[in-house]
Each structure stands twice: as structure tokens, then as C-alpha cells.
Amino acid sequence: MWAAILLTALGCYLLKLAGLSVPDSLLAHPTMQRVAELLPVAMLAALIGTQTFGAGSALTIDPRLAGLAVAVAALLLRAPFLVVVALAAVTAAVLRML
Amino acid sequence: MASARRQIVRDALAVGIATGAYGVSFGAIAVATGLDVLQACALSALVFTGASQFAFVGVVAAGGAPMAGAATALLLGSRNTLYGLRLTSLLGLRGAPRAAGAQLVIDESTAMAVTRHDREHARLGFFATGLSVFVLWNLATLAGALGGRALGDPRDLGLDAAVGAAFLALLWPRLTTPINRAIAVAAALVAVALLPLVPAGVPVLVAAGVAVVAGLGVRR
């Protein structure tokens, strides 16, 4: 078990370091820059999707979706980050208590 | 500007609390899977990327070999490489700061860095968020491993919704162009559609392909 844990730790660290160590010259290419800029957009959106609808390996609709909807409304009203996050949490928590 | 810096630190702490709380779940699940407290804490401190950690204990819990768990964890860890591609020019780290910063490359620290307009604020967002998540995630893992489920379910506090909302709030400023909006919607649809079909974590990696395709194909 320890061998697997340490291997995972080393591998995950090297994966993180690899991304930070790509030479600037490679990233200077306009296409690479565009891809690197768009990656967080796509991956954050994907995380929002799986974070909202995922339940293990199943899809579900639950109070998280209401929380996200309230977050959208708060963002449209230009609410600050903390307010957006807190409103989403309170919405989901209250719906679960009902 | 001092107030802008203060706000970044405040937001970083909030992200750390919302995300870190899940360390309780991780610690409890890890121990329930048969790991001891030290092994659970080692995973949080050394691996420090939630999706990979949950995948590791998930495979072991399902009766898989620890090395199979390691392989799955590494596959999921590759998304941090993709984050690094974006962060490297943004943060401009070299030497020891880069070696130390690498451990903090995760979803949340990346998201809190890429929304800044200059390097100084990007670095602050990255390190403040990375460190606050790191500290709280590890403390929560220890608490979860020791106390198990007695500490309660983060979902009762709506923290599962808070994490999604935090990602949305971080993504929001980038949704100003039609191309970015289309990419975000397509990526989310791809990830959700794949979720029931492939192992956990893979949907987000495939969704990253949307950015690659768009980046190669679209001329701005």
C-alpha cells in the first residue's frame, strides 16, 4: 500500500511540475497560447457540470442545481464572490432541510 | 492596490474552507477503505489533488490492487499538467518557487490565478488559494480519518453546491466572448454526458479536448 501511495505522490507531483516547466518558446506559438488559455475555461465548465449533476457514476438533479441557479442570478446582479458562494450553499442546505 | 489584494486573500480563504471541508469526507472514506490514519494523511499531503485521491481509495475500496489505484490517480492527475501549461507564463516561476508552487497546482488555485489581470495578483491568487486549500484539506483529512463520519456530511451545509458555485464565479469573467461561452457550454455538456459512461475524472479530461479543438480551429 505504501509503495502505491508514494508512487501516486511522486507521479502526481511530476505531472504538476511538468506543466509549469514547459519552455516559454513552445508556449509562445499563437496556437499553443490559445489552447492554453482556453483549457481552464473548458475544464472549469466541465467541473461545474460534473460537480452539479454527478452522483457517483450516475446523473441526478438535486438541490445543487438550485444552488447553481441562485449563483447565476447573484452573478448577473454582480454580487461579490463570497456572496455568490454563500448563497449557493445556503440554498442547497435549506432545500435539504425541508 | 491593497484592497484588491485583501479581497483575493479573503476569497482564497473562502475557497479553502469550502474545498477543505471535503477533506473530512476523504479522511473518513480512506480509513473506511482500510488505510490507516497516517496513509490517509500522506495521500492528502503528498498527492494533494482531490480527484486523484478519491480515485485511489475508490479503486482500493472496490477491491482493486493499490497499484491499479495509483494508475487511475495518475491519469486524473494529468489535468494538473494542463493547468500548468496556462499557469507557467502567467506566474513566471523559476527554481525553488516553481518546485514548491508545483505541489499547489490544483483546480482551485488555477481558477483563482487565471482570472487576474497581472502577474502580481495572479501569483497572490494562486499561492493564497493553494496554501489555504492545502492547510485546510490536510487538517480536515486528519479530522475525518480520526473522527470519521461523526463530524457530519459537508452536503448538509450545502458545501457541495458551494464548490460548483465557486467554480462558476471564477469562470464567469471569462465568459465575455461568444467563443468562450460556446466552449464552456460544450465542455460542460461533454463532461456531463460522459459521466455515467467512463471512470470518475475522465469526463473533465475529455472536456479539455474541447479547448484543444477550439484552440486549433478557431481564428480570433
Taking only the tens place, the pLDDT of each residue in B139-176 is 999 999 998 656 667 788 888 888 889 889 989 988 99
Residue of B nearest to A57 (CA): B196
User: Is residue B166 included in any domain, yes or no?
Assistant: no
User: Is residue B169 included in any domain, yes or no?
Assistant: no
Q: Are residues B124 and B200 in the same domain?
A: no
Ordered by start, the domain boundaries in chain A are: 27-97
Q: Are residues B182 and B102 in the same domain?
A: no
Q: Are residues B94 and B38 in the same domain?
A: yes
Q: Are residues B110 and B179 in the same domain?
A: no
Q: Do B164 and A67 touch (CB under 8 A)?
A: yes
Q: Does any CB of chain A come closer than 8 Å to the CB of residue B90?
A: no
- Mean pLDDT calculated for residue range B3-18: 93
Q: Are residues B151 and B183 in the same domain?
A: no
- Mean pLDDT calculated for residue range B97-106: 96
Q: Are residues B128 and B187 in the same domain?
A: no
Residue B1 has pLDDT above 80, yes or no: no
State how many domains chain B has: 2
The predicted model scores a pTM of 0.83
Residue of A nearest to B95 (CA): A21
Last residue of a domain, one of B124, B155, B186: B155
**Site from A17, A38, A59 to mutate, B interface, most B CB atoms within 10 angstroms:** A38
Q: Does any CB of chain A come closer than 8 Å to the CB of residue B88?
A: yes
Residue B218 has pLDDT above 70, yes or no: no
User: Is residue B163 included in any domain, yes or no?
Assistant: no
**Long-range Cβ contacts of B3-12 (<8 Å, 24+ apart):** B4/B121, B5/B121, B5/B124, B7/A80, B8/B112, B8/B116, B8/B121, B8/B124, B8/B125, B8/B128, B9/B124, B9/B128, B10/A82, B11/A81, B11/A82, B11/B112, B11/B125, B11/B129, B12/B112, B12/B125, B12/B128, B12/B129, B12/B131, B12/B132
Closest chain B C-alpha to A13 CA, distance in angstroms:
6
Chain A, 23 to 62: residues with Cβ < 8 Å from chain B are: 24, 27, 31-54, 56-59
pLDDT of residue A28: 81
pLDDT of residue A82: 85
Q: How does pLDDT run across A5-16, given as a tens digit for each residue? A: 999 999 999 999
Q: Does any CB of chain A come closer than 8 Å to the CB of residue B41?
A: no
Q: Do A43 and B83 touch (CB under 8 A)?
A: yes
Closest chain A C-alpha to B211 CA, distance in angstroms:
5
Q: Are residues B99 and B186 in the same domain?
A: no
Nearest to B77 among A12, A52, A71 (CB): A12
**How many angstroms separate the CA atoms of B79 and A56, rounded?**
20
pLDDT of residue B151: 61
What is the pLDDT confidence band of residue B2, given thresholds at 50, 70 and 90?
Answer: confident
Q: Does any CB of chain A come closer than 8 Å to the CB of residue B114?
A: yes
pLDDT of residue B129: 97
Domain that holds residue B185: 175-220
Inter-axis angle of helices A2-20 and B95-102, nearest 10 = 130
pLDDT of residue B98: 96
Q: Does any CB of chain A come closer than 8 Å to the CB of residue B208?
A: yes
Closest chain A C-alpha to B171 CA, distance in angstroms:
7
Q: How does pLDDT run across A37-84, given as a tens digit for each residue? A: 888 899 889 989 998 998 878 999 999 999 999 999 999 999 988 899
